[in-house]
Amino acid sequence: MTHGARPLVAGNWKMNGLRESLTEAAAICEAVAAGGAGKAEIVVCPPATMLMATARICEGTKVGLGGQDCHAEASGAFTGDISAEMLKDAGATYVILGHSERRAGHHETDKIVRAKATAAMRAGLAAIICVGETRAARDAGDALSIVGVQLAGSIPEISPPGRIVVAYEPVWAIGTGLTPTRQDIAEMHGFIRDRVNQHLPGQGASMRILYGGSVRPANAAELLWIDDVDGALVGGASLSSAEFMAIAGIYTKSRKD
C-alpha cells in the first residue's frame, strides 16, 4: 500500500441488480458503520437505474456511490447515454471509466476514455480509470508497454489532485478466477505510479492504484497488501455484501497480521 494513501474498495455491479439488491447496499452501509472496512473508503457502483435509490440508502453513511460510465458531453442528443453531471446529480461522487468490457464491447479508445475522464473532472467527480492487458499481450511480454500507452492516452491533461484513481485490471483476470503473480502486480503498480508521475507531475506518489480481477475474500489479503496496491475494484464478489465486506475487511487489520 502507498504510504499515507487511504485505501479504496469499489464494487462494480456491472449490469446486475434490481430493486431487491438495495438490501445488499443497505447491508454494506451497516457493515461500514460498524467499522467493517477499517480505514478503507467504500464505494458502490450499481447500474444507472439504481443510482438514485442507492443514493438514498447511502445518504448520511460513509459509503460512496459511483457510476459505471459517462458520456463526454454534459447534455444533448445522445439517446441512451448519461452525462457526468447526471451521475453527480443522482448522488455519485465517482465514475468507472474505460473498463475493459466497455473498451471491448463498446469500442472505447483511450481518446474516448480521456474525453469521458475530462467530463468527470468538469462535473466534480473522481474517475476510476481502468487499464490492463490481454492474456496474449502478457504472454508476449507487452503488458507494461500496453498499459503505458493506455495511461498516456486515457488520463486527462488537467486533473485536480486526488480525483483520478487508476485501476489495473488485467483483462484475462476479470471474472475468470485467475490472477497475476504478486510479483507481476507489484511490477505493474510501480510502473503505473511512475507513468502517472510523468503525466501528472507530483501526483503519482499519492495517487491510488487499485487492483481488479478476481478479487475474492480468499485472496484479498494476498493481493491487496502488495506494495503500491491501494485497494480493489471488485466485480463479481461485490454483488454479495458479505463477500464484498469480507474483502474490505482486510483493512481492519494491520499488514503484518
Cβ nearer to ligand PEP, comparing 147 with 237 = 237
SS3 215: coil
What type of residue sits at position 242? A
Angle 48-7-34 from CA coordinates, rounded to 5°: 80
Residue 99 appears among annotated catalytic residues? yes
Q: How far is the CB of 157 from ligand PEP (least distance, A)?
A: 26
Residue 106 appears among annotated catalytic residues? no
Cβ nearer to ligand PEP, comparing 6 with 216 = 216
Query: Max alpha carbon distance in the chain (Å)?
Result: 54
Q: How far is the CB of 183 from ligand PEP (least distance, A)?
A: 20
Cβ nearer to ligand PEP, comparing 85 with 151 = 151
For ligand PEP, which residue has the nearest CB? 235
Cβ nearer to ligand PEP, comparing 85 with 127 = 127
| C-alpha cell, 165 | 484513481
Element containing residue 11 per DSSP (H, E): strand 8-12
> Which long-range contacts does 133-136 make (Cβ < 8 Å, 24+ apart)?
133/170, 133/171, 133/172, 134/171, 134/172, 135/170, 135/171, 135/172
Residue numbers at the binding site for ligand PEP (CB under 6 A): 12, 169, 174-175, 212-215, 233-237
What type of residue sits at position 43? V
Q: How far is the CB of 105 from ligand PEP (least distance, A)?
A: 12
Element containing residue 95 per DSSP (H, E): strand 94-97
Q: Indicate which residue of 71, 99, 108, 133 is catalytic.
A: 99
**Nearest C-alpha neighbor of 131 from the set 100, 104, 165, 172:** 100
Q: How far is the CB of 59 from ligand PEP (least distance, A)?
A: 25
Active site residues: 99, 169
